[in-house]
Amino acid sequence: MKKIIIKGESVLNVPNLISFYRLLVFPVILFMALTGRENWFIILLCISLVSDVLDGNIARIFKLQTNFGAALDNLADIFTYAMALLGLFIFKWTEIEPHAWILYIFLGVFVLSYIIAFARFGKIPGLHLYSVVSSGYAQSIFFFILFVFGFYSWMFYLVVIWGIAAYTEKIFVLLKLDDIKIGVKGLYWVIKKIDRNLI
């Protein structure tokens, strides 16, 4: 595979190509949602959700993590989960509406994390905290089950509360860091590293 170098990083690799696929398929999924083609929407969205799990794990296992790849994956995540939410509003809102209040809280915390990242660093927050990554996996499972098998309220609340906690931690990490970097595990490790440097 031919090397493409951006800011000293080789960016042409399998996980980045998977993330790029998720960006390319976004308008197709959007079209399927807006035209009411639920079956095709579900198929393409599920492929994107599975590929979201694959790209990050491939990058970690084969040591292919880069700042470019982290930002690309984060951007692809935004588009993928935006489509999942759009499908939720279009196809599943009857089931979700009675519980929507907590979803709005999650969306508020999620958006706030990006506002803080752009205000402080002027770029996409390509952090992959343990809590956020595990929350993303839980959300993928929830959306898959929601669109394929149906709505389970207990799972909805578990996933949304998990997401609120994860993105709240991300906000505190963003406030603590001097710059966005890959390999940040969580707030505990950030504070531990700061304390160690002060000693």
pLDDT 10s per residue in the chain (199 long)?
A: 455 544 555 678 888 899 999 999 999 999 999 999 999 999 999 999 989 888 878 877 887 777 788 788 888 988 999 999 999 999 999 999 999 999 999 999 999 999 998 999 887 766 779 999 899 889 999 999 999 999 999 999 999 999 999 999 999 999 998 877 777 889 998 888 877 765 4
Q: In whole angstroms, give the CA distance from residue 47 to residue 52.
A: 9
Per-residue confidence (pLDDT) for residue 64, from 0 to 100: 78
Per-residue confidence (pLDDT) for residue 12, from 0 to 100: 80
Q: In whole angstroms, give the CA distance from residue 174 to residue 121.
A: 9
Per-residue confidence (pLDDT) for residue 199, from 0 to 100: 44
Structure tokens at 31: 């079209």
Structure tokens at 180: 């966005």
Question: What does the CA dihedral 175, 180, 183, 189 come to, rounded to 10 degrees?
Answer: -20
Per-residue confidence (pLDDT) for residue 122, from 0 to 100: 86
Q: List, in order of start, the domains of the chain with CATH numbers.
A: 5-198 (1.20.120)
